Amino acid sequence: MLENPAHLDTGLSHFLMIGSGVFWTITYLLILRRGYLDKTYGMPMAALCANLAWEFIFAFVHPHPLPQLYIDYLWFLFDVGILVQYLRYGSKEFPAHLPKGLFYPTFSFSLVFAALLIAAISHEFDEYIGIYAAFGQNLMMSVLFVRMYLKRYSVQGQSIYIALAKLVGTVFPSVLFYLYFPDSYLLILLYLGILIFDAVYVGLLYRHQVKEGISPWRRL
């Protein structure tokens, strides 16, 4: 349980929250853009389910304080857009050895399970801000982005700007909660894990595009 956060200047905390909100919003917008252009989805299914569940819970069930609450509303709206892309294009990448009829039930089960898991984490740790769940699923997302690239072995639905925006968007809350809870070794480990996998993802996308003769900086 996270108790007795260190005192932090309100202006600094709001700056870090808004910085996170801005860069994650850019991440979502770029994912939507590339998904539209490449006719695919740009967020792995398990990560999408976790995001949708987290944003719904902490926007409507256990609402965050401002300004984070407004950011949650915005993120939820964008994730619904990414959901539409996943439901439209995701069946093409569903495992060929499984019946296609399992595509929607698999997604539905994953979404419900993610919501129950996040609610259980909050109850177990008596922590209704969603910090543990947020950084835990962020690490999962970082790993899954790397896996998505390796599975596709292409930059379809992806760009270096998405990877960089996610990395920077996570640095802001990592700094914020480190300042609040500098003695939480679990959170520190999560911050470092996310940063490492995000940096790996940036490097993989950059290397692949250079190898293919694509300018990483021109592919928005």
**Number of C-alpha atoms within 13 angstroms, CB side, residue 40?**
15
Each domain of the chain, given as residue ranges in start order, spans 10-211
End-to-end alpha carbon distance in the chain: 41
Can you give the pLDDT at residue 217? 94
- Asked, as a colleague might, if the bond just before 67 is cis with ω within 30 of 0, I would say yes
- Report which of residues 2 and 30 the model is more confident about: 30
pLDDT tens digits for range 9-64: 889 998 999 999 999 999 999 999 999 999 999 999 999 999 999 999 999 999 99
pLDDT tens digits for range 60-105: 999 998 888 999 999 999 999 999 999 999 999 999 898 999 999 9
Q: Are 140 and 50 in contact (CB under 8 A)?
A: yes
Q: What is the mean pLDDT of the chain?
A: 94
pLDDT at position 4 over 80: no
Mean pLDDT of 136-150: 97
Can you give the pLDDT at residue 8? 85
Distances (CA, A) of 96 to 38, 46, 48, 102: 21, 18, 21, 11
Q: What are phi and psi of 214, to 5 degrees?
A: -100, 135
Residue 52: partners with Cβ closer than 8 Å, 6 or more residues away: 76, 79, 80, 83, 111, 114
Can you give the pLDDT at residue 1? 66
Distance, in Å, from the CA atom of 113 to the CA atom of 60, rounded to the nearest integer, reads 18
Can you give the pLDDT at residue 133? 95
Closest CA to 58 of 13, 17, 5: 17
Q: Are 193 and 142 in contact (CB under 8 A)?
A: yes
Please name the residue that has the structure tokens 């965050």. 64
Residue 76: partners with Cβ closer than 8 Å, 6 or more residues away: 52, 55, 56, 59
